[in-house]
Structure 1
C-alpha cells in the first residue's frame, strides 16, 4: 500500500519579540536623531569651506594691517589739523606777548611819572621850608618820614625761621601768642625787632626792601607777615641806618634784643646782626601827609 509521501513537518519560527519601547517610536526617533539633518549638512559645508579657505593666520595679519592703516590715517589727519591750527595759535601768542609788552611799557612810564612828581613835590617842600628858615629841618623830616631815599652807616639784621619748627622749650617769652608752632617768626616778633631798632637810635628802617614810615603796619595774614599789606617771606632782612656800632650794641642789650635772643636759644629761630658802613634804603612807595585843621563848628550846649 503505497501511500502519499510524508511531508516533513513544518517548523514555525517563533515571532521576534517586540522592543519594549516600540510604543514610543516618536521619542525614540528624537533621541536617536537629536540633530536635524539640515544642521548637520550646514556644519559639513562650513567645515569643507574652512578647510579650503583662507588660513586663520592670514586673516589675523590682514586684520592687523587694516588696523595699522586706520591708525596711520588718524595720525595723518591729526597732524594735518595741527599744521593748519599752528599759525593761528602762534599769531594769538604773539599778539598776547605784544599786548603784555605794551602794558608793561605803559606801567613803566606811569611809574617814572610818579617818581618825577614825587621828586618835584619834595623839592617844592624843601624850597618852601628854606624860605621859612627850616631847610635842614625839611631834610630831617623827609628822612624820618621815609619820603626820601637814604644811605649811610647802619646795621643789617637777618631773622629766619628755625630749621625744624617744633614745640617745646621752657620760659616761653611769647606763651600768650596762641601759636602752636613756636619755631616760626611771627608778626609780633618783627614788631618788637623794628620797635627795638627805632628805640636804639635808628633813623630809617626797612624790612625786605619795604621802607617803614610812621604810617606803616606789621600784621599777620594766616602764616604770612604783611608789611604795609604786602606779604613777605623769610628770611626777613631788616636794614637800619644809624650809628652802626652803637646801634648794634644798644639793640642787643635792649629788652627787644634780649627777646630775640631768647627766641634763638629756646626755639632755634636763626638771627644774625652785622654792622655795615653803607646801608641804602629806598623811599617809601607812597607817603600820605595828613594835617589837622581846627573845627569851625560851634559846640552846642
Structure 2
C-alpha cells in the first residue's frame, strides 16, 4: 500500500499588533492626500512648483527698481542734453530785459530833461506876465524853489495796520479807518487844513503840491500827481511856523487827524522848523483867464 506523502504543516502568521487600529494605520501610511500629491507632481512636471512666493516677490521688486533706475537715468541724460539750450534761452531773456531797461532809463532821462526845460520856460513866462506879483505867484503856484520857517508833519500807519477783509475801504461810509492805514482822503484833509491855516508852500515826501495837484488812491497806495508814495508821509509846509502849527492843530482837520490817532492808532507828530526847503514842482501848467465877451441879460 503506497504511503501518503507527509503533510507539511506551517505555523500560523502572527497578527499585527495594530491590526485593531486600521484607521490610524491608514492615516499614517497615507498622510498626503492623493489629490494634493497629484497636484504637486503636476506642478513639478510643469517646472513652476519649485519657486517660493517670497522669491518671486523679491524678483518682481528688483525688476521694478531696475526699471525705475532706468527711467531716472534716461531723464537725467535728457535734462543734461537740454541744459545748454535752456541756459542760452535764459541768458537771451536776461540780455533783452537789460536792453529794454536801459532804453527805458534813457527815455525817462530825456523826459526829465524836457520837463525841466518846459518848467523853466513856464517860470520865465510867469515872471514876465506877473509884474510885481511874479515872485508871489511863482511861490503859490509851485513854479519856484522856496525856503523859510514852517512845520513838519509826519503821518504814518498804525503799527499793526491791515487791509479790510473784503478789500473794501471801510472809510467809504464812516469817514474813519478801522484798518490802521492812512488813506488818500486823510492826506487830502491834512493838506487842505495846512492851506487853510496859512501855509504858503507844501510838499509830501518831496513831491511839491500846486493848485492842480491831485491826491488819489490806488489800492492801499496813495498817489500824488500819479506818483505813488510810501509811508511814513512827511508833510513839509512853509509859513508862519508857530502860528501855522497852532492854527492847524486847532482846526477841524487837525482834530480829525487827532481822532485818527486816538481811535485807530494812526501815528502822527508835528514840529516847528526854522528853515524848510522845498523844490519847485516838476511841471507847472500855465493857464490864463480871458474876459468873457458875452453880455449879461437883465
**Same fold, TM exceeding 0.5?**
yes
Q: Indicate how the Cα distance of structure 1 residues 123 and 45 shifts in structure 2: closer, same or farther if over 3 A, else same.
A: same
- The answer to whether the Cα contact below 8 Å between 1:162 and 1:269 also exists between their aligned partners in 2 is yes
Q: Indicate how the Cα distance of structure 1 residues 296 and 28 shifts in structure 2: closer, same or farther if over 3 A, else same.
A: farther
- The answer to whether the Cα contact below 8 Å between 1:167 and 1:180 also exists between their aligned partners in 2 is no
Structure 1 position 146 matched with structure 2 position 137: no
Cα deviation, residue 60, structure 1: 2.9
Look up the SS of the partner of 1:225 in the other structure.
Answer: strand
Q: Indicate how the Cα distance of structure 1 residues 6 and 287 shifts in structure 2: closer, same or farther if over 3 A, else same.
A: farther
Structure 1 position 136 matched with structure 2 position 135: no
Work out the CA distance in 2 between the residues paired with 1:67 and 1:226: 63
- The answer to whether the Cα contact below 8 Å between 1:158 and 1:236 also exists between their aligned partners in 2 is yes
Residues 14-46 of structure 1, C-alpha deviations (whole Å, 9 max, x = no match): 999999999999999999999999998455422
- The answer to whether the Cα contact below 8 Å between 1:168 and 1:267 also exists between their aligned partners in 2 is no
* Structure 1: unaligned runs, 5 residues or longer: none
- The answer to whether the Cα contact below 8 Å between 2:164 and 2:170 also exists between their aligned partners in 1 is no
Structure 1 position 13 matched with structure 2 position 10: yes
Residues 190-229 of structure 1, C-alpha deviations (whole Å, 9 max, x = no match): 2211111122232332334543221222345566544334
Work out the CA distance in 1 between the residues paired with 2:103 and 2:173: 49
Look up the SS of the partner of 1:299 in the other structure.
Answer: coil
Work out the CA distance in 2 between the residues paired with 1:63 and 1:169: 56
Look up the SS of the partner of 2:223 in the other structure.
Answer: strand
Work out the CA distance in 2 between the residues paired with 1:33 and 1:112: 107
Q: Indicate how the Cα distance of structure 1 residues 152 and 184 shifts in structure 2: closer, same or farther if over 3 A, else same.
A: same
Cα deviation, residue 107, structure 1: 1.6
Q: Indicate how the Cα distance of structure 1 residues 97 and 300 shifts in structure 2: closer, same or farther if over 3 A, else same.
A: farther
Q: Indicate how the Cα distance of structure 1 residues 146 and 33 shifts in structure 2: closer, same or farther if over 3 A, else same.
A: farther
- The answer to whether the Cα contact below 8 Å between 1:173 and 1:259 also exists between their aligned partners in 2 is no
Cα deviation, residue 125, structure 1: 3.7
- The answer to whether the Cα contact below 8 Å between 2:156 and 2:268 also exists between their aligned partners in 1 is yes
- TM-score, L = length of structure 2: 0.67
Mean Cα deviation higher: 160-169 or 279-288: 160-169
- The answer to whether the Cα contact below 8 Å between 1:152 and 1:279 also exists between their aligned partners in 2 is yes
Look up the SS of the partner of 1:294 in the other structure.
Answer: coil
Structure 1 position 291 matched with structure 2 position 255: no
Look up the SS of the partner of 1:195 in the other structure.
Answer: helix
**RMSD value over aligned CA atoms?**
7.8
Q: Indicate how the Cα distance of structure 1 residues 295 and 155 shifts in structure 2: closer, same or farther if over 3 A, else same.
A: closer
Work out the CA distance in 1 between the residues paired with 2:271 and 2:163: 29
Q: Indicate how the Cα distance of structure 1 residues 161 and 124 shifts in structure 2: closer, same or farther if over 3 A, else same.
A: closer
* Structure 2: unaligned runs, 5 residues or longer: none
Cα deviation, residue 124, structure 1: 3.0
Residues 96-145 of structure 1, C-alpha deviations (whole Å, 9 max, x = no match): 222222122112212221222222223334444556x8588555544433
Cα deviation, residue 240, structure 1: 2.6
Work out the CA distance in 2 between the residues paired with 1:245 and 1:260: 18
Q: Indicate how the Cα distance of structure 1 residues 260 and 41 shifts in structure 2: closer, same or farther if over 3 A, else same.
A: same
Q: Indicate how the Cα distance of structure 1 residues 112 and 296 shifts in structure 2: closer, same or farther if over 3 A, else same.
A: farther
- The answer to whether the Cα contact below 8 Å between 2:177 and 2:260 also exists between their aligned partners in 1 is no
- The answer to whether the Cα contact below 8 Å between 2:194 and 2:248 also exists between their aligned partners in 1 is yes
Look up the SS of the partner of 2:202 in the other structure.
Answer: strand
Q: Indicate how the Cα distance of structure 1 residues 41 and 69 shifts in structure 2: closer, same or farther if over 3 A, else same.
A: same
Look up the SS of the partner of 1:175 in the other structure.
Answer: helix
Work out the CA distance in 1 between the residues paired with 2:296 and 2:54: 109
